[in-house]
Amino acid sequence: MKGICILGATGSIGVSTLDVVARHPDQYRVIALTANGNIDALYEQCVTHHPEYAVVATESKAEEFKQRIAASTVADIKVLAGAEALTQVATLENVDAVMAAIVGAAGLLPTLAAAKAGKTVLLANKEALVMSGQIFMQAVSDSGAVLLPIDSEHNAIFQCMPSGYTPGHTAKQARRILLTASGGPFRKSPLETLADMTPDQAVAHPKWDMGRKISVDSATMMNKGLELIEACLLFNMDPDQIQVVIHPQSIIHSMVDYVDGSVLAQMGNPDMRTPIAHAMAWPERFDSGVTPLDIFEVGHMDFERPDLQRFPCLRLAYEAIKAGGIMPTVLNAANEIAVEAFLNEDVKFTDIAIIIERSMAQFKPDNADSLELVLQADRQARAVAKTVIGRLAA
């Protein structure tokens, strides 16, 4: 049996991962579960899956959680708190695989620690790779860690790569990646109405059930921009070799175009348990619980070029990865601050791209060859973005 640590257990990826784990109790044992604020959900997961460790965000939440655990049937669970505890459980000796599903920059350090420790890293946190880029990929190479992408698009690309392919290398026969996107909830909305879109409208994704932050990223297509940057690193391709394709049915999860004219596509119902199960069983396969695809029910599939006037965040992501250095870190940090402000109704939906662009304009693409420089750029970009928000509100 393999021991698994789930970073971000109460989010949609964490919940889906535990569903897959429950289907294969002979292959996986839950060693650690972590959560930020949803203590009630974490408690139920602990009772069901009985991990050795549970990690919460703060000491006060930990004390509250310890009391609940002490009065339960799983009183022997060790309760930890804080960022250092995330790294601790991600590098435990009896942890074989780490599901990295913490949203945002908060997932960087424990995910990087898991890579350095030589774990099998099931990467659902795209920001960790976007921020640390080559540092992360070098850690995987140096430690012998196994890196398996969980995002449905990157997992699809990985499945379409040649037999024996390892992330971080160039597949010489592949000339182009077609990175699919749903287009989000505002794909057909009149441009003049976007400024008035509310947080509730932005998080109402037509195909995927996701958290609020990542749902807003889907609405702006920053989610696809971050995935573009991630794909450049995972598959060692230039940005110009990656074409974003809007595919509203979300049946084809991405495609790889080969030099002989073949285009391989990975298809399936839009359910994250498919890529999760693929990575957990790799290089074999096992049941995910996903309903088989009925191609006759799908009927037809549509494809569109993204409109960069409608989705300026996608343009900014292309600019960031082409500039290189700290610019992807700046892009990600400014986006996190902008999305938070939008969800708090402090700025308009269309202000998100404005905040990011104005923040990026304050930086040069300096080297990002150490974790210290990356974290420094992240802090500075967040401060700049908050200043831009203050000026917009003035």
Give the pLDDT confidence of 238-291 residue by residue, as tens digits: 999 999 999 999 999 999 999 999 999 999 999 999 999 999 999 999 999 999
Mean of all residue pLDDT scores within the chain: 95
User: Which single residue is written with the structure tokens 């913490």?
Assistant: 102
Burial class (CB in 10 A: 0-12, 13-18, 19+), 302: exposed
pLDDT reported for residue 206: 74
Average pLDDT, stretch 73-92? 96
Complete domains list, the chain, with CATH: 2-149 (3.40.50.720), 151-271+294-319 (no CATH), 324-394 (1.10.1740.10)
Cis, bond preceding 283 (omega within 30 deg of 0): yes
pLDDT over threshold 80, residue 161: yes
pLDDT in tens, 19-29: 999 999 999 99
pLDDT at 394 over 90: no
Q: Which two tokens stand for residue 148?
A: 């398996």
- The count of residues in the chain is 394
Indicate if the pLDDT at residue 361 is higher than 80: yes
Is the pLDDT score of 202 beyond 90?
Answer: yes
| Cα dihedral sign, 80-120-273-247 | positive
Cα 73 to the chain's mean position, in Å? 33
Question: What is the per-residue pLDDT for 214?
Answer: 87
> Which has more confidence, 206 or 108?
108
Residue 205: band (very low, low, confident or very high) from pLDDT cuts 50, 70, 90: confident
CA nearest neighbour of 360 among 295, 309, 313, 296? 313
Q: Can you say how many angstroms the Cα of residue 54 is from the centroid of all Cα atoms in its chain? A: 22
Which pLDDT score is estimated for 393?
Answer: 78
Q: How confident is the model at residue 207 (pLDDT cuts 50, 70, 90)?
A: confident
Residue 172's pLDDT is 84
Per-residue confidence at 156, pLDDT binned at 50, 70, 90? very high
Q: How far is CA 249 from the centre of its chain?
A: 21
- What would the mean pLDDT of 207-216 be, rounded to a whole number? 81
Neighbours of 65 (CB within 10 A): 22
Q: How confident is the model at residue 65 (pLDDT cuts 50, 70, 90)?
A: very high
Looking at residue 204, its pLDDT comes to 87
Instruction: Inform me whether the pLDDT recorded for 125 exceeds 90.
Output: no
Cis check for the bond before 312: say yes or no (omega within 30 of 0): no
Band (126; pLDDT cuts 50, 70, 90): confident
Cα four-point dihedral sign 192, 193, 199, 202? negative
Q: What is the pLDDT of residue 283?
A: 95
Handedness of CA 187, 385, 38, 12 (dihedral sign): positive
Residue 61 has pLDDT above 80, yes or no: yes
Whether pLDDT at 106 is above 90? no
For residues 176-192, average pLDDT: 95
Mean local confidence (pLDDT), 59-70: 93
Helix (H, G, I), strand (E, B) or coil at 10: coil
Of 91, 144, 108, nearest in space to 372 by CA: 108
- CA nearest 368: which of 356, 355, 380? 380
